[in-house]
Chain A
Amino acid sequence: MNDEKPLFEVTDLSVKFHTRLGEVAVLDHIHLNVGAGETVAVVGESGSGKSVMAFAALGILDPAGKVTSGSVRFADHDLLTLRKAALDDLRGRELAMIFQAPRTALNPILPVGRQIEDVLARHSDLSRSDRRDAAVAQLASVKITDPAKRYHNFPYELSGGMCQRVMIAIALACKPRLLIADEPTTGLDVTTQVVIMDLIAELAAANGMATLLITHDLGLASDYCARIAVMHAGQILESASARTLFKSPRHPYTARLFAATPRPGATLESLTSIPGQLPDLRQPQPPCRFSTRCERVQPGCTEPGLVLTPMPTDSAHLLACRNPL
């Protein structure tokens, strides 16, 4: 990491949800940076709080969720304290998000072209007909064939891959500086998945856009992101360049995650599962929420004050573990 301030900075972010069954500490003191033009992945199992982090940062958290500590900074703005009008100016223009499940995220009763126009109507002073041309150009930029015709299509008339392209077209309509992509390829065929990821990477490189990829797929993260943060039960346990993380993971959970993922060259014998399951976050948690599942746990692990700290040898490699590998 260099000295200049990162574009997007999550500092000490904690989120709690109030439920019938008590308070659930979904995020626990999260730290995450994304530099300008950088590609970063947040990897974790379902329920680890990846999406909640994105929602909290964009101010679209479910009403039951409350930010209890920390800040989210984007360029010169503090997103958590920004007035709603200022936030509305930012979101969709400088800060965009691709949501999970494009078919449900798109408006089912509006032609897809109009949905792209909506963003332009809010954030640009283009005339009606210019907006329309821009929407068609935007559809073409995500490599939809025959964009002028597709402009009039409704989401149900398009395939899953096409809907995802439309989502990308909407998110990138105003050339944002940061794109948060929440599981952008889940549910798509593998061949479509790589085409969509290539497209995001290509457009990001062309516009100098930073990308925060939220995924459960380690392979996808390693293929497309320079840096990976590993999340477990609302905590970031390790963060390093993809190369470092793959060559020498230091956190036991990261190593376990790699060992549990079927990948080329692995055999069934070498595939080991992660013992236990995600902890019940309604209960008070130890400082390291992985410690109940960890085979390297030691008495010191229960002491408070565990923070994500840079490794002495590599300041870009952050780790929150008292007994690393």
Chain B
Amino acid sequence: MTPLLSLDAVHKRFPLGEKPGLLARAFGANKPQSMLHAVENVSFDLHPGESIGLVGESGCGKSTLVRLVTRLLDTSEGRILFNERHIGDVPAHDFARHAERARIQQVFQDPTDSLNPRFTAFDCIADPLRRLGATPLPEAKPMSAAAVKARVEEAADQVSLPRALLARYPHQLSGGQKLRVGIARGIALKPQLLILDEPTSALDVSVQAVILHLLAELRRELGLSYLFVSHDLNVVRLLCDRVMVMYLGKIVESGPVEAVFAAPKHPYTQALMAAVSKFDPDSGETRIRLTDDPQSPIDPDPHCCRFYSRCYKKQRACEQAMPERDGKSVHQVACFFPNRLDEAS
């Protein structure tokens, strides 16, 4: 099966500060410019209908990776294939008019901030249709007003947003309703890939449960693929087939949700799992704790594991070479000592 989305050795580096001036360069002060390595050597395939969870702490590059996939940012290196077409080569500012734009849609993190306060719910959902919606090929004409209206109402029905609420402005809607508007906007163009960036983090548990059911249902009915960004591992486990754990720009572990949750191999994943509540006052398991702050992503040592400073089982080898995931197995881990669980103490 050909993957819907395929990333191959994608890097994103942001230059920091000013470039050395002409004089500095002329006089031999050729200190290279500092680079912030936000995303480093990320490769993965997302198959049609599949849902991948992307987890990691804030600042690890999740959002940068999402922006690379949605083509809001240009890659520094590497290839992005969507439907076997190279979309990584299209400059970000041209991608807005690219044919694949409508196929990749996103539900943003904050349901309030991501809606235009001067648009009604109807206009929010209609906006992508008016900009990118087109009649089927070969005519490919812009959608008529009637067609837009019909599609908006259909999308509202799909997310169980009462049609009566379409005339309202965001401030007149509850958090759960605003999120439904955001999801309806995301699916209005009938995309193949929906990127969900922490969709439920701003909601109470009672509303969150409804939204999680809705997302699972939409995926089943519309055959969508999800890239689900979250910090809540319990939510990822419910909604995703596979999970990727990101740490300082690198995917340190990936695999089927059950496998990773049952036996996390990377020490960072283990710490993440240990931080998740077991919801059992009697569970007396010892917890792995991360002390210190993460290393700086600015000009990191290319020959040292990114997790080295916080790792509880670091060895000599870990600061002499960068561990990478092996490409063959289903459950991949970027660690030299993935199986030495019991030597934690």
Contact = CB atoms under 8 A, between A and B. Distances in A.
B272 A263 contact: no
Interface stretch (B26-34, B226-234, B336-344): B226-234
Given A46-B204, A273-B210, A198 B276 contact: no
A216 to B, nearest CB: 7
A246 B238 contact: no
Interface string A146-175: 000000000000011110000000000000
A262 B89 CA distance: 40
Among A143, A161, A256, A261, residue most surrounded by chain B Cβ atoms (within 10 Å): A261
Interface stretch (A8-16, A114-122, A186-194): A186-194
Interface string B179-214: 000000000000000000000000011111110110
A262 B292 contact: no
B281 A262 contact: no
A190 B290 contact: no
B237 A262 contact: yes
B209 A271 contact: yes
Contacts of A223: 277-278, 281
B18 interface: no
Interface in A245-268: 246, 256-257, 259-264, 266-268
Contacts of B275: 190-191, 193-194
A216 B232 CA distance: 14
B290 A222 contact: no
Nearest to A46: B204
A264 B289 contact: no
Interface in A188-222: 189-195, 198, 216-220, 222
A268 B212 contact: yes
Contacts of A262: 208-209, 212, 232, 234-235, 237-238
Contacts of B25: none
A45 B204 contact: yes
Given A162-B293, A262-B208, 19 more contacts: A45-B204, A145-B292, A189-B58, A190-B232, A191-B272, A192-B57, A218-B205, A246-B280, A260-B205, A262-B209, A262-B235, A264-B237, A264-B278, A266-B234, A271-B212, A271-B213, A273-B208, A277-B174, A277-B206
**What 3 A-B pairs are tightest by C-beta distance, nearest first?**
A219-B277, A274-B206, A273-B209
Interface of A: 45-46, 143, 145, 159-162, 189-195, 198, 216-220, 222-223, 241-243, 246, 256-257, 259-264, 266-268, 271-274, 277
18 contacts: A45-B204, A162-B293, A190-B233, A190-B275, A191-B272, A194-B275, A195-B291, A198-B287, A216-B204, A218-B205, A218-B277, A218-B279, A246-B281, A256-B206, A264-B237, A268-B238, A271-B212, A272-B209
